[in-house]
A and B are shown apart, each in its own frame.
Chain A
């Protein structure tokens, strides 16, 4: 699109200009609408498309109808054969002297003239004599016998004095009536009028009395002039195309029917082409102009409003962006002011403009604008100014909103962050206290509000308004409860995590989703702790395995040369060398080589047993059977050293879950231990006892050498009861036995009591 190619600045300026133009258009439209005579009637008068339909036209018609019937009346009064006749009798009076006089029109006019009265060019009575003369002139007040212009005058008299009038008063009356007659004559007869009328009565003699200014028009032609009204004596229906009927027409028509028959009619016609200049044409022209203005104003108003909305939308869309990619929002100096300050400034600006209205604005308006429109002008200017100020502030807010700095840069935001930071720097108990105090404060305020509103509930417009803070209070409690509930859930999760970690599941992670505040920190730290522990544990397992691997590899490397040593020592011995010394040396070599062999083998086993790097084949085995088997293996061996094996075993099987081969290794080591270190010719006691859900195997012997070390040391590697390390043991037997027992899930204990050595292993019994 072509417009997108415009630079952003130009685009915005263009939009702003358009916005201003539309604003002007909008206000112009409003002004057009405001300044019309039909203001206040809303849209309804728009339906009345022509002046003839309006009420003002009807009002005009009503006054004209009144005039027409006055004409009907005055025509007979003043005219003879269609001409003004000055000899027509007007009034008859009787003086105190008893003399009765009849004054004709001429007399009355001349009397009036003599006193200085005259008719103006608008046919109004004017002039008159000086006041002092009036007293003498009117000294004689005659009784009125009759008035030609008011035949039924006597009926109107309510007081006796009403029947008397000075000649001056009478002549003034006549003069005023004559003025009216002239006016009608001038408006409807002498000058062309757009209103045509025909009024017809039939007198007693059957002669038609016609009053018209359109004698040349037949009735049907008059109907075609535009608007018409036809009312006849023999019908109550009005034949008309007028929208509003003049409501005096029927009564006037009937009032002037002096002949008591129904042969009369009135025809009114308004030439809606308005060829002649008269009140109708003037009003019609004004009406048409105002209506056009109104419609134009409406169109301006609509276009202006739509344009305003559109350009406003465009400006909102573009606000803040400097380039057409609409990424970065640029803020000006005003936008950087905290939002509270800018709102306050806007408020003050509005207030200032409000007060300018009376001081500067009013004076300026008086200089420029018509008095009638000053108020309107001022209001318009005020609205425009307010609108522009609010527009500026609104766009500033919009830019800040787009830049996401509305809250961030506001004073409230600063204060909030400051409070949070300040709270975070304090201790947890202090924060808790602050929260509790806040909770108390809010509750107190709400309760006080409720109490206050309840107490003054009769003063409130809605008496139950205190329900609202009550609901707020309940909501606040619920919110607090939810917070506490969540905190409890978090604590629960954390303690479960701690439990898991303390159980040895160091890889356990607390799910911290949804955690906040202290709980989030705590769980994060715990997870880190768990990670650390897990890493350490894995490192330890790894290093144990490495150690075991190292020992295994070293032992492999030792075994190969050892093989040669053992073999060649053996070969040497087979040479049957007769030298006794050499034979004894060879014996030593052979013995030590074998010990080295045992040592390497035990070393591998010990490292594997202690690191747990062994494959276990756990099955259900009978411990009693195992002891029998072991006894069978060792019975003869013990006889070499004259040791007696005394065993006390239960007759029934006792099943345990263990790896038979490994457990045999444990027993073998214990039996070998007894074989090696027991005093010759002593007894070795072996028994199996079941206590509750555990079975215990015990082997006891009396040591040949004093046991001057404690029991725990005996299971350490390379520790032996005898100080001299000449015998065949590697010093690893008990250590291996202990580690293997632990690996199999059993307990291993050694007791020393003097020279009594006692080893015990225990396993849970399978039910």
Chain B
């Protein structure tokens, strides 16, 4: 049973998160400020930490920094600040994820699960076959079996979706326009391509991403194309 440390000065929020995570079978330790959290981390075996940014005493950012000095456990920042620079700051100082309040409880649970899986299992999974295996963060493609895993969970894709994802993963970081993708996958010249590719991309995103509006892997470069973020 994994232990999750939840730290927020709002007790009701901690309580709610506790209910959701306990329901999913996690053990939850509760802290109400940064010093509590650091103390509990020292005395308990913790697998993941959820931390609020705006707290009295030691705030979430400084708590994260402190934790990162000694530990590499997944840290999810939970904050009412939803601006881009807040997210970038949080991720830059060592957090693994950033969830804005008010959050969808299901999304929170999904992300917690995903991070835990990656942290605890992923290391073993990738080692048995290296040929025709493409990995990008928590995204794993076994080309031999035409299998796709996200954080260890198998994903079902249609052949076209699979081919598009494979193309993007193989060229992780490169931006493909709709026309390029169409020409590569359908092997036809794209003459005034319609919305087909965009719809497929959307479908892929819905399958591999926890929150399709804020994708972790398949990113939209608006007005240019699509790409898989190189990790």
Residues of A whose CB lies within 8 Å of any CB of B are 552, 555-557, 559-560, 562-568, 570-571, 593, 597, 601, 604, 615, 619, 621-623, 625-626, 628-633, 635-636, 645, 647, 649, 651, 658, 660-661, 663-664
Query: Complex formed: what's the CA distance from A568 to B192 in Å?
Result: 49
Decide: B105 and A660 in contact? CB cutoff 8 A.
no
Chain A residue at minimum C-beta to C-beta distance from B193: A628
Measured between C-beta atoms, what is the minimum distance from A264 to chain B in Å? Answer: 141
Decide: A564 and B10 in contact? CB cutoff 8 A.
yes
Interchain CB contact (< 8 A) of A625 among B20, B101, B102, B178: B178
* Further 13 A-B residue pairs, CB within 8 A, beyond A564-B10, A628-B198, A660-B221: A559-B80, A560-B80, A562-B102, A563-B102, A564-B13, A564-B16, A571-B19, A593-B102, A623-B223, A628-B197, A629-B222, A633-B198, A647-B195
Measured between C-beta atoms, what is the minimum distance from A670 to chain B in Å? Answer: 14
Query: Complex formed: what's the CA distance from A612 to B105 in Å?
Result: 33
The yes or no answer to B114 lying at the interface (CB within 8 A) is no
Query: Complex formed: what's the CA distance from A564 to B19 in Å?
Result: 12
Closest 4 CB pairs between A and B?
A632-B198, A621-B223, A660-B222, A626-B223
Chain A residue at minimum C-beta to C-beta distance from B201: A632
Which residues of the partner chain B approach A664 to less than 8 Å between Cβ atoms? 220, 222-223
Query: Complex formed: what's the CA distance from A562 to B177 in Å?
Result: 40
Task: Evaluate whether A622 and B80 lie within 8 angstroms (CB atoms) in the complex, with A559-B101, A567-B16, A632-B202 already known.
Answer: no
The yes or no answer to B81 lying at the interface (CB within 8 A) is yes
The yes or no answer to B46 lying at the interface (CB within 8 A) is no
Query: Complex formed: what's the CA distance from A593 to B102 in Å?
Result: 10
Which residues of the partner chain B approach A649 to less than 8 Å between Cβ atoms? 192
Query: Complex formed: what's the CA distance from A629 to B181 in Å?
Result: 13
Query: Complex formed: what's the CA distance from A611 to B105 in Å?
Result: 33
Decide: B101 and A562 in contact? CB cutoff 8 A.
yes
The yes or no answer to B103 lying at the interface (CB within 8 A) is yes
Interchain CB contact (< 8 A) of A622 among B19, B101, B195, B224: B224
27 CB < 8 A contacts A-B: A556-B80, A559-B80, A559-B100, A559-B102, A560-B10, A562-B102, A563-B13, A563-B103, A564-B16, A565-B102, A568-B16, A570-B105, A571-B16, A601-B82, A615-B85, A622-B224, A625-B178, A625-B225, A626-B222, A628-B198, A629-B223, A631-B195, A632-B197, A636-B199, A660-B222, A664-B220, A664-B223
Interchain CB contact (< 8 A) of A629 among B80, B101, B102, B220: B220
Decide: B192 and A629 in contact? CB cutoff 8 A.
no
Decide: A631 and B12 in contact? CB cutoff 8 A.
no
Taking residues whose C-beta sits less than 8 angstroms from the other chain, chain B's interface range is 35 or more
Residues of B whose CB lies within 8 Å of any CB of A are 10, 12-13, 16-17, 19-20, 54, 80-85, 100-103, 105, 177-178, 191-195, 197-202, 220-225
Query: Complex formed: what's the CA distance from A629 to B201 in Å?
Result: 9
Which residues of the partner chain B approach A615 to less than 8 Å between Cβ atoms? 84-85
Decide: A563 and B101 in contact? CB cutoff 8 A.
yes
Which residues of the partner chain A approach B82 to less than 8 Å between Cβ atoms? 559, 601, 604
| Inter-chain CB contacts under 8 Å: number | 108
Which residues of the partner chain B approach A625 to less than 8 Å between Cβ atoms? 177-178, 223-225
Secondary structure dominating the interface of A: helix
Decide: B224 and A631 in contact? CB cutoff 8 A.
no
Which residues of the partner chain B approach A555 to less than 8 Å between Cβ atoms? 80
Task: Evaluate whether A632 and B195 lie within 8 angstroms (CB atoms) in the complex, with A559-B80, A560-B13 already known.
Answer: yes
Task: Evaluate whether A621 and B197 lie within 8 angstroms (CB atoms) in the complex, with A556-B81, A560-B13 already known.
Answer: no
Decide: B12 and A663 in contact? CB cutoff 8 A.
no
Which residues of the partner chain B approach A566 to less than 8 Å between Cβ atoms? 102
Which residues of the partner chain B approach A565 to less than 8 Å between Cβ atoms? 102
Measured between C-beta atoms, what is the minimum distance from A602 to chain B in Å? Answer: 12
> Which of A563, A593, A604, A636 is the most central at the interface, judged by chain B CB atoms within 10 Å of its CB?
A563
Which residues of the partner chain B approach A663 to less than 8 Å between Cβ atoms? 222-223
Decide: B16 and A629 in contact? CB cutoff 8 A.
no
Query: Complex formed: what's the CA distance from A628 to B16 in Å?
Result: 41
Interchain CB contact (< 8 A) of A635 among B100, B193, B199: B199
Query: Complex formed: what's the CA distance from A635 to B203 in Å?
Result: 12
Chain B residue at minimum C-beta to C-beta distance from A660: B222
Measured between C-beta atoms, what is the minimum distance from B223 to chain A in Å? Answer: 3
Task: Evaluate whether A631 and B105 lie within 8 angstroms (CB atoms) in the complex, with A660-B222, A660-B224 already known.
Answer: no
Decide: B13 and A658 in contact? CB cutoff 8 A.
no
